Structure 1
């Protein structure tokens, strides 16, 4: 990693804390509207979306202030959250919020998996200055995340189409934990392919936003 890795790690931790806080705020808003105010699941999701939109905007602002730029992955996830959140509020339809995960992760999977035959690895261009690994490592990392995003898209479709709103919100919270665990797991793979192992790399978080 580069000499700025301590600062990069700190910025990454701040960004992930903000992202997790946004998710907690969304889930808390849903719980209050659902179980305290007594709204049905659909209406509780719509009301909680107001919190989601505000938290997503705040996450993008904090990310820009901390890193002096809008990092690509947080920008994509935050942008999707804002767009689909606003659409949910405009059309008063929480289904739009649910399919956001499918579309976002599906597109990421297509881009990553589609890059493999071309031997053009997006992560290499996004993270090449922070993580020095072999081309075999970039290919493996791209494949792993491509399959992960595809799995999330498929599971999300199954959950929201077959389960109730309460279950989907719980699934959304569990997905953040799964994403964090998956990112940490990739550190071991990255370490095996490091070209310069002067510092331990930060995990690449596969899901940095609602």
Structure 2
């Protein structure tokens, strides 16, 4: 018999259900701020001269993105009562690499940030599977409950998907303009992620576990 300690059941410790609309707004909001701040970067500098010290539109947009990210995390902590792991890690990397990019006036830190975040998530998820742990269950168990096989398969797929996003970001920023990269980052990456998430619904439905309340209500 396999040692169950090597494969914990994250679904057994569900957190309170999160509001999907609020969660999406908190995660998507900073990205939209980044896009529109870059789009109106020159206008912002013209009307708020102090922003000129930050550098070009990309650096101004990054500063707005950093502020919006902090606000999003604070609101999440106040309203949802906890900091989601993945947005928290992403936020920390945003602050570090965004701050370095602005301080050194080097766009490389800003453009490689999505690569580093996605590669980190992909390696951690796949590495966890290597050691017998379906880490995705600890992140998403507030949204749904799956059996062990379901968490393993979903973790593997998300791990590969994060690595795909990392490679995709490298391809786009190295071969296209800043505006094209930012546009793709907002209006390309998000739809791709939504489509990938929807494509996982058959797996989720197949391996879903019933809530305790549903079990008790059945005759």
For Structure 1 versus Structure 2, the TM-score category normalised by the shorter chain is: 0.7 to 0.9
Which residue, out of 9, 17, 35, partners 1:8?
17
CA distance 1:74–1:119, shift in 2 (3 Å) = same
Q: Which structure has the greater CA radius of gyration?
A: 2
Aligned residue for 1:8, secondary structure, equals: coil
Which residue, out of 26, 31, 35, partners 2:39?
31
Q: Which residue of 2 aligns with 1:185?
A: 199
1:116 aligns with 2:141: no
Shift of 1:137: 0.5
Structure number with the bigger relative contact order (C-alpha 8 A, sep ≥ 6) is 1
Unaligned runs of 5+ in 1: 200-210
Partners of 1:14 and 1:129 in 2: CA distance: 14
Shift of 1:134: 1.6
Q: Which TM-score applies when normalising by structure 1?
A: 0.82
Q: Is the 8 A contact 1:59 1:78 kept in 2?
A: no
Q: Is the 8 A contact 2:122 2:159 kept in 1?
A: yes
1:69 aligns with 2:78: no
Partners of 1:108 and 1:95 in 2: CA distance: 20
Q: Which TM-score applies when normalising by structure 2?
A: 0.78
Unaligned runs of 5+ in 2: 1-10, 47-51, 214-219
Shift of 1:59: 0.8
Which residue, out of 81, 86, 102, partners 2:94?
81
Shift of 1:152: 0.4
Q: Could you give the per-residue CA deviations for residues 95-153 of structure 1, whole angstroms, max 9, x where no partner exists?
A: 11110111111111111112223221111233446532121111110111001000000
Q: Which residue of 1 aligns with 2:172?
A: 159
Aligned residue for 1:116, secondary structure, equals: helix
CA distance 1:129–1:52, shift in 2 (3 Å) = closer
Q: Which residue of 1 aligns with 2:104?
A: 91
Count of residue pairs brought into register by the alignment: 194
Shift of 1:28: 0.7
Partners of 2:202 and 2:170 in 1: CA distance: 30
Q: RMSD across aligned C-alpha pairs, in angstroms?
A: 2.7
